[in-house]
Amino acid sequence: MLFKSIATVLTIAGLAAAQTPTEYTKGVAHIKKDNIDAIFTFEKVAEGTNVTVDVKSGLTQGLQILPAGFEYHIHVKPVGANGDCMATGGHLNPGNAGKYPCDKTSANFTACEIGDLSGKHGNLVAANNDTGAIPPLSYVDSQLSFSGPTESALLGRSVVIHNNGTRIACANLVVEGYTAPEANSTSPTTVGSTPLPTKDSSAVKLVASLTLSGLVAAMMLAL
- Residue 199 is predicted with a pLDDT of 39
Alpha helix segments (H runs only) across the chain:
2-19, 117-121, 201-222
Q: Indicate the burial class of 36 (C-beta count within 10 angstroms; 0-12, 13-18, 19 or more).
A: buried
Integer Cα distance of 156 and 161 in angstroms:
17
166: left (phi over 0), alpha (psi -120 to 50) or beta: beta
Residue 38's SS3 state is: strand
> For residues 209 and 135, which has the higher predicted lDDT (pLDDT)?
135
- Residue 182 is predicted with a pLDDT of 53
The identity of residue 82, as a single letter, is: N
DSSP 8-state code for residue 171: E
Residue 128 has pLDDT above 90, yes or no: yes
Residue-averaged pLDDT of the chain: 81
What's phi and psi for 25, nearest 5 deg?
Answer: -130, -10
> For residues 213 and 122, which has the higher predicted lDDT (pLDDT)?
122
Integer Cα distance of 46 and 12 in angstroms:
32
When pLDDT is averaged across residues 39-60 and rounded to a whole number, the result is 98
Q: Indicate the burial class of 61 (C-beta count within 10 angstroms; 0-12, 13-18, 19 or more).
A: middle
When pLDDT is averaged across residues 15-31 and rounded to a whole number, the result is 78
Choice among 16-30, 70-84, 166-180, 191-205 with the minimum mean pLDDT: 191-205
Per-residue CA distances from 16 to 12, 21, 202, 206 (Å): 6, 10, 16, 12
**Which is it for the CA torsion 112, 114, 119, 120, positive or negative?**
positive
Integer Cα distance of 200 and 90 in angstroms:
28
- Portion of the chain with pLDDT greater than 70, in percent: 71
The CA R_g of the chain, rounded to the nearest whole Å, is 22
Query: pLDDT band for position 191 (50/70/90)?
Result: very low
Query: pLDDT band for position 4 (50/70/90)?
Result: low
- Residue 53 is predicted with a pLDDT of 98
- Residue 19 is predicted with a pLDDT of 52
Residue 15 has pLDDT above 50, yes or no: no
Query: pLDDT band for position 220 (50/70/90)?
Result: very low
When pLDDT is averaged across residues 117-130 and rounded to a whole number, the result is 96
- In sequence order, the β-bridge partners of residue 161 are 72, 169
Q: Between 3.30.1330.60, 2.60.40.200, 3.90.1150.150, 1.10.3720.10, what CATH number should domain 26-175 receive?
A: 2.60.40.200
Residue 205 has pLDDT above 70, yes or no: no
